[in-house]
Amino acid sequence: MPGDVTIGIHDLSLATARYVLTHETLAAQNGANVAKYHRGIGQHSMSVPAADEDIVTMAADAAAPIVARHGADRIRTVVFATETSVDQSKAAGVYVHSLLGLPSAARVVELKQACYSGTAALQFAIGLVHRDPSQQVLVIASDVSRYELGTAGEATQGAAAVAMLVGADPALVRIEKQSGVFTADIMDFWRPNYLTTALVDGRESISAYLQAVEGTWKDYTERGGRALDEFSAFCYHQPFTKMAYKAHRHLLQHCGHATDEGEITRAIGHTTAYNAEIGNSYTASMYVGLAALLDHADDLTGRAIGFLSYGSGSVAEFFAGTVVPGYRAQLRSDAHREAISRREKIGYTKYRELHERSFPVDGGDHPVPTETTGPYRLVGLSSHKRIYATR
């Protein structure tokens, strides 16, 4: 293979859910000061899936525009990253493969490691393209974050999917070779098989995240990565948007740099625009941040972006990408903003009803009411089988 082949993100598309719960509504219910959410964690609203929406319908919604633009002939692999899987055996991507009519001559797999696995999917995809630059890989990260009602994590919930087409000579972002990785066995956030909502130790999770920032940066620099001042912007995993600010401030301090708040905002401010409205989308979160950066920032052509992907438990990676000339012609800025702005506001009663909704486990026929305005929906459950359809 020629040594000058560049590989990275050729296209990127975002989707989210039908409904939105504002933090004003949540604060009124909880008796909290809304500033606790707006300023404290940097969140203004959260996407809430309709009864007939889930990680599969959002994933297909995100990926469909990519397939429409580029076709599917070169897609030999679909990698679906999620921590809210709908099945313990079958990859959620197989449902997406069917809904989009992708070629049968393709492999489909699902990856799991908390919020990090979207980056694992991207890196694995790059390896496959290195092996055969004529192929493309469809990477999808899709999640619905859910915590118990009334817990501290409730205000950080959200739902979204990001689809990325990974290939040679990318039109958006070229991913650079150097990468720093870090793993530590930490119980900061987890969800046992017998629970439908996640458990989190907030203090421990922030501490583990910052430890991972240091660990990944150390490995990245030891492997010949860029100097900190070479980056024009940084995309961090955002369990809540203020965590990106905490992480970048910590990285600057760790490297002996001044922590000027204006500079921090210039480095990461654009990346939080969508997450502040959508909420935490786990595996998709950092790439929702990338979409927001590309859609909102001034011309980034030739500029380096730093990526810090963190997944509780914990695994993390720091890597770099360079924005490709002509990238703006490929952006889906209007579609992304429309996906967020068209969500229907709901009250706390409707939100609670959706939050507590679950399928019976008796193997019977359980249709789902039609609610979504998106192109794909979960029709129901029959004989323990999930049924999806084009709306």
| Span 6-48, pLDDT tens digits | 999 999 999 999 999 999 999 999 999 999 999 999 999 999 9
Is 237 part of the annotated catalytic residue set? Answer: yes
Mean pLDDT, the chain, whole residue set: 96
Q: Which two tokens stand for residue 279?
A: 């909420």
| Span 55-76, pLDDT tens digits | 999 999 999 999 999 999 999 9
Distance CA 317, CA 82 (A): 17
| Span 269-325, pLDDT tens digits | 999 999 999 999 999 999 999 999 999 999 999 999 999 999 999 999 999 999 999
List of residues 6+ apart from 59 with CB closer than 8 A: 15, 80, 92, 93, 96, 140, 142, 161, 163
- Tell me which residue of 337, 326, 280 sits closest to 13, measured CA to CA: 337
Q: Percentage helix, strand, coil, to 5, in the chain?
A: 40, 30, 35
Distances from the Cα of 265 to the Cαs of 135, 234, 336, 338, in angstroms?
38, 10, 22, 25
List of residues 6+ apart from 189 with CB closer than 8 A: 114, 198, 199, 200, 201, 205, 312, 313
Distance CA 37, CA 279 (A): 11
Catalytic residue selected from 10, 23, 97, 237: 237
Q: What is the CATH number of domain 7-390?
A: 3.40.47.10
User: Kind of pairing, strands 304-311 and 231-236?
Assistant: parallel
Name beta bridge partners: 109. 79
Percent of the chain at pLDDT exceeding 70: 99
User: Kind of pairing, strands 173-183 and 231-236?
Assistant: unpaired
| Span 313-361, pLDDT tens digits | 999 999 999 999 999 999 999 999 999 999 999 999 999 999 999 999 9
Query: What are the extents of the domains in the chain?
Result: 7-390
Is the pTM here over 0.75, yes or no?
Answer: yes
Question: Is the predicted pLDDT of residue 1 greater than 70, yes or no?
Answer: no
Q: Which pLDDT does position 3 carry in this prediction?
A: 56
Catalytic residue selected from 115, 250, 270, 317: 115
